[in-house]
Amino acid sequence: MGLAKRIIPCLDVDKGRVVKGVQFVDIRDAGDPVEVAKRYNEEGADEITFLDITASHEQRETMVHTVERMAAEVFIPLTVGGGIRSVEDIRTMLNAGADKVSINTAAIHNPEFVREAAERFGRQCIVVAIDAKRVADKPPRWEIFTHGGREPTGIDAVAWARQMAEYGAGEILLTSMDRDGTRDGFDLELTRAITDAVNIPVIASGGVGNLQHLVDGVLQGGADAVLAASIFHFAEHSIQDAKAFMAQQGVEVRL
């Protein structure tokens, strides 16, 4: 027995409410983020990830208050992402009670930002989010996309993951833009390519539609943690169900 694979429910938050975009378009309301996080905490979630999907300047304060409320009631690690662009943004979120911040677009615009952030706050709290889309099949190749998967950057996903780990990322949150919202399961080839390329933990994200997908992410993709939103939000499965199923399939989890 040893380190457990983590199950991370993800809360996409817009204007202070949890929402889930299916491929970033269709939005359904899933409630107050603090209430949702408390439920996940009680059900045995290993961490909570909280993404501000609008990340506009006006919403920033709402977000900080939500993080503060959540940190006073939820005693598991909390990662906050969306619109983290400066050392000041990181400091604000950590002071509000976040344990980690997730950096995405700002890292693409300025990779040195990741180095600076890791040096300032420690790499344990710097998660680099990678949104990757398959651009070739044989051999498979993935590129980084921004703006919810609409804007290509020309950056190779595997090379980018290596660079980010070298710059001080403590963890990678890997989302397949092809799978996100489809419920077809993780892009396992992508997950495996990234987990093999770096020596830091990788969270697989994008496409979970059933509990077997979580198992596949770990056993086939090699992920250290699996992230999902909709299968938990709409009470299709509890976190306990997910963990019991994973344990049965031979994945070490915290029960």
Q: Which of 89, 131, 178, 187 is catalytic?
A: 131
To the nearest whole angstrom, how small is the minimum distance from the Cβ of residue 255 to other proteins?
Answer: 9
Residues that bind other proteins (CB under 8 A): 1-6, 41, 44, 46, 71-73, 75-77, 94-99, 121-125, 170-171, 199-202, 224-225, 254
Phi, psi angles (nearest 5°) of residue 86: -145, 165
137 classed as catalytic? no
Shortest distance in whole angstroms from residue 169 CB to other proteins:
11
Q: What is the smallest separation between the CB atom of 10 and other proteins, expressed in angstroms?
A: 17
Beta bridge partners of 129: 173
What CA–CA distance (Å, rounded) separates 76 from 221?
25
> How far does the chain reach from its first CA to its final CA, in angstroms?
13
Q: How many Å apart are CA 31 and CA 41, to the nearest integer?
A: 15
Q: Taking the complex as a whole, how short is the minimal distance between the CB of residue 138 and other proteins, in angstroms?
A: 27
Show Cβ contacts of residue 7 under 8 Å, excluding neighbours closer than 6 positions. Answer: 44, 45, 46, 214, 225, 226, 228, 239, 242, 243, 246, 253
52 in catalytic set: no
Nearest distance in Å: CB 105, other proteins: 24
How many CA atoms does the CB half-sphere of 162 hold within 13 Å? 7
Which of residues 75 and 235 has its CB atom nearest to other proteins in the complex?
75
In terms of Cα–Cα distance, which of 122, 77, 84 is closest to 103? 84
In the bound state with other proteins, the residue whose beta carbon lies nearer, of 128 and 177, is: 128
50 vs 121, beta carbon nearer other proteins = 121
d(CA 164, CA 152): 18
Nearer to other proteins, 9 or 149 (CB): 9
**What's the Cα-to-Cα distance from 145 to each of 119, 135, 191, rounded to whole Å?**
26, 11, 16
Q: Which is nearer to other proteins, 108 or 173 (CB)?
A: 173
Active-site residue list: 12, 131
